[in-house]
């Protein structure tokens, strides 16, 4: 992998968490550790790691609760760990949004293979999506060639800049797009720290997507980081 991927390890067994973190660090990953489910939720929301390695038995909130809650805004892979050789746990984890699971005792090379496989898959999906001229997210369709968008089969009246913002965010669905990169792509200039034009455009988009009356924020503001288009909320 060209750049370090960021993995959050959520495990309350300190010795196991330390061993996993040390091993993944030697494999060129950036690693953070949380030992409580409720703390993990906050870290996932704030940092949007590239992958979460999530234990089931956790204080605060268990892994099932964590998985269910963060899937409202987190779309990168979740790899669950359990010491229980129980098919029910495996099925429930997958139903709640986990991408795969491993059972303890953890084998280093097998864990690494699962992680790399999940990361390759998500990178491939995003590369394919970024090359498309037509994006579909449930009730929303965005057509780059005609520069049009429809929601619930109704055409959206978007300015040129509003469409550009929507396309940039949607083509990187599930990823944080920084204000700096958005301004540079839209206007070809560096962010000066004061320009709020993108905030205004995103606000207009939210209104046109009928988001002001909804609890679901389809275009989320990740404070201090940028914007995230939520592909599963349409």
Average pLDDT estimate for 214-222: 73
Least confident of 83-92, 110-119, 203-212: 83-92
Considering only residues 64 and 186, tell me which one the structure prediction assigns the higher pLDDT. Answer: 64
pLDDT at 2 over 80: no
Q: For position 234, what pLDDT does the model report?
A: 72
In this predicted model, what pLDDT tens digit does every residue of 58-95 receive, in sequence order? 999 999 999 989 887 788 899 999 876 666 666 777 77
What's the CATH number of domain 6-127, 3.40.50.2300, 3.40.50.720, 2.60.40.1110, 3.40.50.2000? 3.40.50.2300
Kindly state the DSSP code that residue 210 receives in the 8-state scheme: T
Q: Structurally, what CATH architecture does the domain formed by 132-229 represent?
A: Orthogonal Bundle (1.10)
- Of 124, 117, 75, the residue nearest 97 (C-alpha): 75
Considering only residues 203 and 41, tell me which one the structure prediction assigns the higher pLDDT. Answer: 41
Q: Yes or no: say if 198 and 164 are a contact pair by the CB < 8 Å rule.
A: no
pLDDT at 225 over 70: yes
Q: For position 1, what pLDDT does the model report?
A: 43
pTM of the model: 0.64
Q: How many residues does the chain have?
A: 234
Q: For position 5, what pLDDT does the model report?
A: 94
Q: Yes or no: say if 49 and 7 are a contact pair by the CB < 8 Å rule.
A: yes
In this predicted model, what pLDDT tens digit does every residue of 6-22 receive, in sequence order? 999 999 999 999 999 99
In this predicted model, what pLDDT tens digit does every residue of 125-177 receive, in sequence order? 667 666 678 888 888 999 988 889 999 889 998 887 788 889 999 988 888 89
Taking the CA atoms of 81, 83, 86 and 88 in sequence, report the sign of the dihedral they define.
Answer: negative
Buried b (16+ CB within 10 A) or exposed e, 178-188: ebeebbeeeee
1: Cα within 13 Å, side-chain hemisphere? 20
Domains 6-127 and 132-229 in one fold: no
Q: For position 43, what pLDDT does the model report?
A: 94
- Helix intervals (H) in 51-107: 63-70, 87-95
Least confident of 57-61, 116-120, 171-175, 187-191: 187-191
Domain boundaries, the chain: 6-127, 132-229
Average pLDDT of the residues of the chain: 85
24: Cα within 13 Å, side-chain hemisphere? 28
Q: Yes or no: say if 114 and 100 are a contact pair by the CB < 8 Å rule.
A: yes
Q: For position 218, what pLDDT does the model report?
A: 81
Q: For position 19, what pLDDT does the model report?
A: 97
């Amino acid at each position: 992998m060209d750049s370090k991927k960021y993995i959050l390890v959520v495990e309350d067994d300190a010795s196991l968490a330390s061993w996993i973190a040390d091993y993944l660090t030697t494999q060129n990953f950036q690693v953070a550790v949380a030992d409580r489910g409720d703390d993990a939720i906050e870290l996932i929301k704030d940092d949007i790691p590239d992958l979460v390695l999530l234990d089931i038995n956790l204080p605060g909130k268990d892994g099932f609760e964590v998985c269910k809650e963060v899937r409202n805004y987190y779309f990168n892979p979740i790899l669950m760990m359990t010491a229980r050789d129980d098919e029910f746990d495996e099925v429930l984890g997958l139903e709640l949004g986990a991408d795969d699971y491993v059972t303890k005792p953890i084998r280093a090379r097998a864990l690494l293979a699962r992680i790399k496989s999940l990361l390759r898959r998500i990178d491939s999906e995003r590369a394919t999506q970024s090359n498309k001229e037509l994006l579909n997210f449930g009730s929303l369709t965005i057509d780059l060639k005609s520069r049009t968008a429809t929601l619930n089969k109704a055409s959206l009246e978007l300015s040129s800049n509003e469409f550009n913002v929507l396309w940039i965010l949607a083509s990187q669905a599930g990823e944080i797009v920084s204000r700096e990169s958005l301004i540079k792509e839209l206007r070809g200039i560096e962010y000066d720290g004061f320009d709020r034009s993108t905030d205004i455009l995103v606000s207009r988009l939210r209104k046109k997507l009928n988001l002001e009356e909804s609890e679901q924020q389809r275009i989320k503001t990740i404070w201090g980081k940028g914007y995230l288009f939520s592909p599963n909320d349409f």
